[in-house]
Structure 1
Amino acid sequence: MSRIDDLITELAPKGVPMQPLGEVGIFIRGRRFTKADRVDDGLPSIHYGEIYTHYGVATSDTISDVRADLAPTLRFAQPGDVIIAAVGETVEDVGKAVAWLGTEQVAVHDDCFIFRSSLDPKFVVYLTQSDAFKKAKEPFVARAKVKRLSASGLARLRIPLPPIDVQREIVRVLDSFQLLEAELVAELEARKQQRLAFSYTLPEAPYIKALSSGTSEHVRLGEIATPYVDPLRVQADEIYMNLGVKWYGEGVFARESKRGSTIKGTTLYRVKPGQFIYNRMFVTEGSFAVVPPELADGVVSAEFPVYDLDNSRVLPEWLLLYFQDEYTLKRVAAEVTGVERGSTKSRRRWKQEQFEAFQIELPSVPAQRELLRVLGTVAALESSLRDELVARRKQFDYYRDKLLTFEELPV
């Protein structure tokens, strides 16, 4: 960081000016295109959902294409522009941005703005991620059903404008943090795939196979899982901790607590520790979990079927492992019914009767337990990597906000 300090001392000894974004660049709203316009080989395009997918940078090989004949009706970002999401489900999502670092222009959806300036594009992106920027933009976010930012609101946001050499050095430092995080994410994914591959071969290991010799059976899930329904009438003045289920078997999580008066539904459902739960809408992404003790006070909507398991026949953690298997998820995907609706696939569901009729090969409990014990050593390494990833992200947030805080130049 001393290099940045030296540059600021040399190039901005009296402080850094603050100016509205609208005075240092222009905002261009994109033009609408639809999912039906998507093709395999056409014009590179980007919409706000893809901005959420990427972290700071988008290139030609990371996004989708639209029909080339639409070109006269579209608006394009050029290499070096910043693309900013104008809409989002939460205030934090609105204003998320990526730097367009492709080698060609990209068509931009009308739920996004193109910001064109002489600033370093990644410097602008890191600014939009900063805590100060998030707080500054809140007054300009329309509190509608879907949160929205206007070009005039963005243009009024004041940002620090250090010299370009300072901007580039800050980007270099923060990029190095991001590279370390990317390497850690890749290692975590590799360890996860290693564990899953290990889990496929372990049942055939002689000492584990012997534990189930002659006792492995094919059962319907309804034979070992009983639906648990404990309804709770929503009260306007009560506070509820809604639970969700992460993808890829990564567990239950607590959403932001809400007052009953802000909840659309009239009924929620209680859960208990050790129960098996899944999200009917995202089973193809492995949205299965076991309720942990620390979230026993949470509630779920009807989209999250909850089951008590017969622990004399199946261990919850083993069943969760079973539903992380790629082949199992393909079998589930073949049963999912409904019409796909946008990128969320929100109309496609795996119904409870389908879950309960689903057949699995069930080894003995001793074999399940031994399999989990062996895999637990790999899972422990995954857990430590996740902890390190959380720490790295906190470290990045700290230094990003620190590096983007300047002594303001007196007016």
Structure 2
Amino acid sequence: MSLVELLAGVHVELRPLENVCRFINGRAYKQSELLEQGKYPVLRVGNFFTNTNWYYSDLELDKDKYCDKGDLLYAWSASFGPKIWEGDKTIYHYHIWKIIPDVGIINKKFLYYLLEWDAKALKEEHGTGSTMVHISKGAIEKRLIPIPCPDNPERSLKIQSEIVRILDAFSALTAELTAELTAELSIRRKQFNYYREQLFNFVDREVKRLPMGHEEVGFFVRGGSLQKKDFTETGVGCIHYGQIYTYYGTYANETKTYVSHTLAKKCRKAQTGNLVIATTSENDEDVCKAVAWLGDEEIAVSSDACIYKHKLNPKYVSYYFQTEQFQSQKRQYITGAKVRRVNADNLAKILIPVPSVQEQIQVVKALDKFEILTNSIKESLPREIELRQQQYEYYRNLLFSFPKSETVVV
């Protein structure tokens, strides 16, 4: 039976959530009760969606304070929305509800999709608080949801199951597409990395390798004192060290931010062809990430960055900074505990292969082609996922827009 046939002549009743399910509060914790290791993980709102840093507890609580695989949960503070828990036995935090559906009235997965569909509107209509928006248990319990054929539970649950089947299929297609594109991107990145390493090895001929601070190659200049608070809407372009590993790629022709002309006069500046290098980060990977500045104007450079003024092809040098050949040398010079850094004097000691100008150009041309291909896949990934998500949301909205023969139960 098709969904159209299934929905033919369907009467829909709008019922408060409290009539079809029960919301159970999680437990609030003192910081002293949250352990680095313990018997049970403590599921907080951050872990609910993205955070992978967990706390644990050895407390033995009432049965309803734990969630098990398959339980329906709802985050109601800061982040909003439902989740079917896929983990093992876990304690859920105060900012999460466990939802117990009345299985004689409503399918749990159907309820999940309804709550997902309604989350944005619920937040906009009932969200309170300025720094941390939240909704009350009373507000969500009064929320009206559509129940098809309420007087015929068997048919109602059959309709709900069919809607779940359709939405599950769309979700699976989205997940499959994401996995395929992510795998393709991973393969292209590995190919790019391998090819880049081979190009900089120059195994088929002798190429001199010189310290980056050698007089035939270049020298390093420390960045100035500009900070994020100095940014302006217009003025002289500037690069802040943090932007190098969060915003910029191999090269740039325009800056993301600016500083006033007055401040720029006091700043250290990069010229066309210079590299701007982040010398500080919280992790080893981002230390010494570099961007080649190819814009026409001089730009200001922040502290915790340095400028490399050199005689090489700028993109050739920037690509070299991405190689394992460079990274393996860099690691021996990293200092600091929480904040990791490499100073300009040590950067000057790192060896770089110095082929002819023409050979540098050939390396850049080859790597540019690979980077363009990799970036095109990288850019298409969120676009394709967004399109599939829009398709999913369209059909979800369509499925929950039952024929307009509604009765409201209060």
Structure 1 residue 7 displacement after superposition: 1.9
Q: Which runs of 5+ in 1 are unaligned?
A: 55-61, 89-93, 236-242, 252-270, 294-301, 339-347
Q: Is 1:77 aligned to residue 67 of structure 2?
A: yes
In 2, distance between residues paired with 1:140 and 1:308? 51
Alignment partner, residue 20 of structure 1: 16
Alignment partner, residue 264 of structure 1: none
Amino acid at match of 1:31: R
Amino acid at match of 2:18: G
| Aligned partner (choices 88, 111, 129) of residue 143 of structure 1 | 129
Distance change >3 Å, CA 120–CA 174, structure 1 → 2: same
Q: Is 1:405 aligned to residue 404 of structure 2?
A: no
In 2, distance between residues paired with 1:362 and 1:199? 20
In 2, distance between residues paired with 1:410 and 1:377? 57
Q: Is 1:5 aligned to residue 4 of structure 2?
A: yes
In 2, distance between residues paired with 1:247 and 1:206? 26
Amino acid at match of 1:169: E
Alignment partner, residue 371 of structure 2: 376
In 2, distance between residues paired with 1:247 and 1:381? 18
Amino acid at match of 1:4: L
| Maintained 8 Å contact 2:73/2:83 | yes
Q: Which runs of 5+ in 2 are unaligned?
A: 149-155, 233-241, 251-269, 295-301, 355-359
Alignment partner, residue 263 of structure 2: none
| Aligned partner (choices 112, 121, 137) of residue 125 of structure 1 | 112
Distance change >3 Å, CA 234–CA 164, structure 1 → 2: farther
Structure 1 residue 382 displacement after superposition: 1.7
> How many pairs align?
352
In 2, distance between residues paired with 1:165 and 1:321? 61
Amino acid at match of 2:370: L
Amino acid at match of 1:71: E
Structure 1 residue 203 displacement after superposition: 4.1
SS in 2 for 1:145: coil
Q: Is 1:30 aligned to residue 26 of structure 2?
A: yes
Q: Is 1:112 aligned to residue 100 of structure 2?
A: no
Alignment partner, residue 96 of structure 1: 81
Alignment partner, residue 181 of structure 2: 188
Distance change >3 Å, CA 210–CA 181, structure 1 → 2: same
Distance change >3 Å, CA 140–CA 407, structure 1 → 2: same
Amino acid at match of 1:37: L
- Cα shift readout 1:88-134 (whole Å, capped 9, x = no counterpart): 2xxxxx322211255x643211221111113333333333332x531
In 2, distance between residues paired with 1:28 and 1:273? 61
Q: Is 1:366 aligned to residue 361 of structure 2?
A: yes
Structure 1 residue 80 displacement after superposition: 4.2
The structure with the larger Rg is: 2
In 1, distance between residues paired with 2:276 and 2:206? 27
| Aligned-residue CA RMSD (Å) | 5.1
| Maintained 8 Å contact 2:42/2:92 | yes
Distance change >3 Å, CA 183–CA 328, structure 1 → 2: farther
Counterparts of 1:295-374 in structure 2 under 5 Å?
A: 310=309, 313=312, 315=314, 319=318, 322=321, 328=327, 348-350=338-340, 362-363=352-353, 365-366=360-361, 368-374=363-369
TM-score by length of 2: 0.64
| Maintained 8 Å contact 1:290/1:320 | no
| Maintained 8 Å contact 1:81/1:100 | yes
SS in 2 for 1:148: coil
SS in 1 for 2:8: helix
Distance change >3 Å, CA 331–CA 183, structure 1 → 2: farther
TM-score by length of 1: 0.64
Amino acid at match of 1:405: S
Distance change >3 Å, CA 28–CA 223, structure 1 → 2: farther
Distance change >3 Å, CA 169–CA 206, structure 1 → 2: same
| Maintained 8 Å contact 1:247/1:282 | no
In 2, distance between residues paired with 1:277 and 1:407? 61
| Maintained 8 Å contact 2:75/2:97 | yes
Q: Is 1:167 aligned to residue 153 of structure 2?
A: no
SS in 1 for 2:145: strand
Amino acid at match of 1:400: R
Amino acid at match of 2:49: Y
Distance change >3 Å, CA 76–CA 203, structure 1 → 2: closer
Amino acid at match of 2:76: A
Structure 1 residue 379 displacement after superposition: 0.9
Counterparts of 1:39-78 in structure 2 under 5 Å?
A: 39=37, 42-43=39-40, 45-53=42-50, 66-67=56-57, 69-72=58-61, 75-78=65-68
Distance change >3 Å, CA 211–CA 79, structure 1 → 2: closer
- Cα shift readout 1:198-252 (whole Å, capped 9, x = no counterpart): 23432454797279952444548x94676376666589xxxxxxx978879889x
In 1, distance between residues paired with 2:100 and 2:212? 60
Distance change >3 Å, CA 128–CA 410, structure 1 → 2: closer
| Maintained 8 Å contact 1:273/1:290 | no
Distance change >3 Å, CA 289–CA 354, structure 1 → 2: closer
